[in-house]
Structure 1
Amino acid sequence: MIARIWRAAATQDKAATYQHHFAARVVPHLKAIDGFSGASLLRREAGNGVELVALTLWRSLGSIRAFTGPDPARAVVDPEAQAMLTAFDATAANYEVVVDIGMDD
């Protein structure tokens, strides 16, 4: 399994708008991709704004390429989302999950 991590920042007001966008638009799109295994959006107050971290889980780098195209490190940020964010990474980090302990373990 591969964990993909992408970071962004937003104002207080726009962070809530982005959270809705992530749940209503991004997640349904990801669910349609073979190999997608889950997503979380993390939020923390940071200075005068909000830091957002998207964590998505994938079966393989090949399944990530179905989302990103040939470069699995490329961030995919549509123009609507870009308008909600004050900053965002142009790349995402992909990590091999080597230990995974669920709440039931």
Structure 2
Amino acid sequence: MICRMWHGITLRAKADAYAALLEERAQTGYRAVPGNISACVLRRDEGEITHFMTLSYWASEASIRAFAGDDVLVARYFPEDADFLLEFEPQVQHYTVTTALGGG
């Protein structure tokens, strides 16, 4: 299993709206791709800015390629991101998951 990690920063005043947009994408965009296991969005408010970290879990690099394209480390952005993000980080990070504990 591979964890794909993306980081973005927005103004705190726009954070609630951006969180809703990310939630919608996590539920529809990621889950629509075969091989996506799950996705979650983390949020940290820090003064006037808010950090978001999206963690998506994938069965294989091939499944990530179906979502992100041939260069799997390039960050994928949507047109709406221009209304929220303060910068556009060019790459994501991938980690091989070595241990996963089930919830419940």
Taking structure 2 as the reference length, what is the TM-score of the superposition? 0.91
Is the 1:3–1:57 Cα contact (8 Å) retained in structure 2? yes
RMSD between aligned alpha carbons? Answer: 1.4
How many angstroms does 1:36 deviate by?
A: 0.6
Matched, 1:94 2:94: yes
Q: Give the AA of the match of 2:76.
A: V
Q: What do residues 77-100 of structure 1 show as CA deviations (whole Å, max 9, x unaligned)?
A: 111123211123221101100111
1:37: which partner in 2? 37
> What is the rounded CA distance, in whole Å, between the counterparts of 1:47 and 1:17 in structure 2?
17
Q: What do residues 25-63 of structure 1 show as CA deviations (whole Å, max 9, x unaligned)?
A: 343021110001111111112242111101000001110
1:74: which partner in 2? 74
- Aligned residue runs from structure 1 range 13-32, under 5 A: 13-32=13-32
How many angstroms does 1:13 deviate by?
A: 1.9
> What is the rounded CA distance, in whole Å, between the counterparts of 1:24 and 1:70 in structure 2?
24
User: Which stretch of the first structure deviates more once superposed, 79-88 or 64-73?
Assistant: 79-88
The sequence identity of aligned pairs, in percent, is 32
Gaps of 5+ in 1: none
Is the 2:26–2:40 Cα contact (8 Å) retained in structure 1? no
Gaps of 5+ in 2: none
Is the 1:41–1:53 Cα contact (8 Å) retained in structure 2? yes
> What is the rounded CA distance, in whole Å, between the counterparts of 1:54 and 1:25 in structure 2?
10
Q: How many residues align?
A: 104
